Chain A
Amino acid sequence: MTFINYAAREINCKIVYYGPGLCGKTTNLQYIYDRTNPAAKGKLISLATETDRTLFFDFLPLDLGTVKGFKTRFHLYTVPGQVFYDASRKLILKGVDGVVFVADSQEARLEANVESIRNLDKNLKEQGYDIATIPYVLQFNKRDLPTTMPADEMYRRLNIKREPTFEAVATTGAGVFDTLKAVARQVLMDLKKR
């Protein structure tokens, strides 16, 4: 749900990074945080366990500048990827405007990716959204590892509606901003239709 404040001339949008455990959602946010001008970002909040696994969510507010005189503010969230945190994942999807699915490129994680997309589809439906129409971008992360699957094979298995797809190495930042930009573009273009 985009929140448009005509009084303060602000648009607030919520982007959620989704994906299986340890696929690099938090690393995406961390890189964006590290590389953003301090004036344009708020604090990166991580509700994580002592071993740095996301427990509830990470949150990064980002001011991107103005569109048509409105300040655009993106709120980036990650979900906890581990299977048993499903109740928390549902809560974070509330009011979402766009989703980035971060897939782990390692062959051994293919089933986890597939399962997580299925989970996303189900949880979106429960919140009244449809994965077929919501702004959605796919990222193949960890392309630097020796055990990665070929990208075209991943595309065949994971791409569901010809959504924009990016190869990435979140630890070095490759593909991270391209992914964010693609989802931001879809969310803002979606505003036109309303």
Chain B
Amino acid sequence: MTLPDLVLYDEEFRKIKESLNRLASDANANVVFLVDKNGQQIAAVGDLQTLDTTSLASLTAGNVAATDGLARLIGEREFSILFHEGERDNIHISIVAQRVILVVIFDERTSLGLVRLRVRRAMAELEKIFEEIAHKAEREKQALQADFDSPFAEITDEDIDRLFSE
């Protein structure tokens, strides 16, 4: 009986959003988002209307996974920062607490130097938040091992059939 690896509650979600918003405004970035290493989007802020964030999350994770593979091949643990430079927009990718990916999309209204500087500060904040999440998960796991009050404990066959009938 294990709890799911990543469970996000309102309080931490709010803190993460605050941190991302601060980073977006301090770095003058268009979009900032956070993805789990498995490609699940955790949170996103900024100009998201024209952006397919689900695809972005999956491709970012694929990109980081492939780069991690490359790193290990040459004896590195990971490449903690990736940077993709385009004609107009650029993507800055960094790994937080070894498990989540922080992505910043920015254009010529700011600079790589500023983005790097602000990312460093945001990473320290986010690392703390994810430490809290890990602690909380661990505490809950121990406290609730006996009767974890999962909302999914009552899932029935009918619930699942309904998903596919729509």
Near A by CB (< 8 A), chain B positions 114-166 give 148, 150-155, 157, 159-160, 162-164, 166
Known A-B contacts A14-B38, A45-B55; the reply to A4 vs B4 at CB < 8 A is: yes
CA–CA, A177 and B166, complex, Å? 13
Among B13, B52, B62, contact of A7 (Cβ-Cβ < 8 Å): B13
Is B69 at the interface (CB under 8 A from chain A)? yes
Contact partners of B150 in chain A: CB under 8 A: 191-192, 194
Q: Please determine whether B1 and A194 come into contact, CB atoms closer than 8 angstroms.
A: yes
Number of interface residues of B (CB under 8 A): 42
The 0/1 profile, CB within 8 Å of B marked 1, for residues 55-74 of chain A is 01101010011011110100
**In the assembled complex, how far is the CB of residue A6 from the closest CB belonging to chain B, in whole angstroms?**
5
Near B by CB (< 8 A), chain A positions 24-58 give 42-43, 45, 47, 56-57
The segment from A112-120, A142-150, A155-163, A182-190 found at the interface with B is A182-190
Contact partners of B68 in chain A: CB under 8 A: 91
Most buried by B among A12, A42, A45, A177: A12
Residues on B lying within 8 angstroms of A by beta carbon are 1-10, 13-14, 36-40, 42, 52, 54-55, 58-59, 62, 65-66, 68-69, 148, 150-155, 157, 159-160, 162-164, 166
Residues on A lying within 8 angstroms of B by beta carbon are 1-8, 11-12, 14, 42-43, 45, 47, 56-57, 59, 61, 64-65, 67-70, 72, 75, 87-88, 91-92, 94-95, 177, 181, 184-185, 188-189, 191-194
Q: Please determine whether A8 and B13 come into contact, CB atoms closer than 8 angstroms.
A: yes
Among B5, B6, B152, contact of A67 (Cβ-Cβ < 8 Å): B152
Q: Could you write out 27 A-B pairs with CB less than 8 Å apart? A: A4-B4, A5-B42, A6-B7, A6-B10, A6-B13, A7-B9, A43-B54, A45-B59, A57-B62, A61-B55, A64-B164, A65-B162, A68-B151, A70-B152, A72-B163, A91-B66, A92-B65, A95-B38, A181-B160, A184-B160, A189-B155, A191-B4, A191-B152, A192-B155, A194-B1, A194-B2, A194-B150
Q: Please determine whether A91 and B10 come into contact, CB atoms closer than 8 angstroms.
A: no
Q: Please determine whether B155 and A14 come into contact, CB atoms closer than 8 angstroms.
A: no
Q: Please determine whether B55 and A6 come into contact, CB atoms closer than 8 angstroms.
A: no
CA–CA, A77 and B89, complex, Å? 28
**In the assembled complex, how far is the CB of residue A133 from the closest CB belonging to chain B, in whole angstroms?**
11
Q: Please determine whether A3 and B1 come into contact, CB atoms closer than 8 angstroms.
A: no
CA–CA, A185 and B66, complex, Å? 31
Q: Please determine whether A184 and B163 come into contact, CB atoms closer than 8 angstroms.
A: yes
**In the assembled complex, how far is the CB of residue B159 from the closest CB belonging to chain A, in whole angstroms?**
5
**In the assembled complex, how far is the CB of residue A163 from the closest CB belonging to chain B, in whole angstroms?**
17
Q: Please determine whether A193 and B166 come into contact, CB atoms closer than 8 angstroms.
A: no
Among B40, B54, B163, contact of A3 (Cβ-Cβ < 8 Å): B40
Contact partners of B52 in chain A: CB under 8 A: 42-43
Contact partners of A72 in chain B: CB under 8 A: 163
Contact partners of A95 in chain B: CB under 8 A: 36-40
Q: What residue in chain B is nearest A8 (Cβ atoms)?
A: B13
**In the assembled complex, how far is the CB of residue A124 from the closest CB belonging to chain B, in whole angstroms?**
15
Among B40, B66, B164, contact of A88 (Cβ-Cβ < 8 Å): B66
**In the assembled complex, how far is the CB of residue B51 from the closest CB belonging to chain A, in whole angstroms?**
12
Contact partners of A88 in chain B: CB under 8 A: 66
Known A-B contacts A68-B152, A188-B152; the reply to A45 vs B58 at CB < 8 A is: yes
CA–CA, A64 and B155, complex, Å? 15
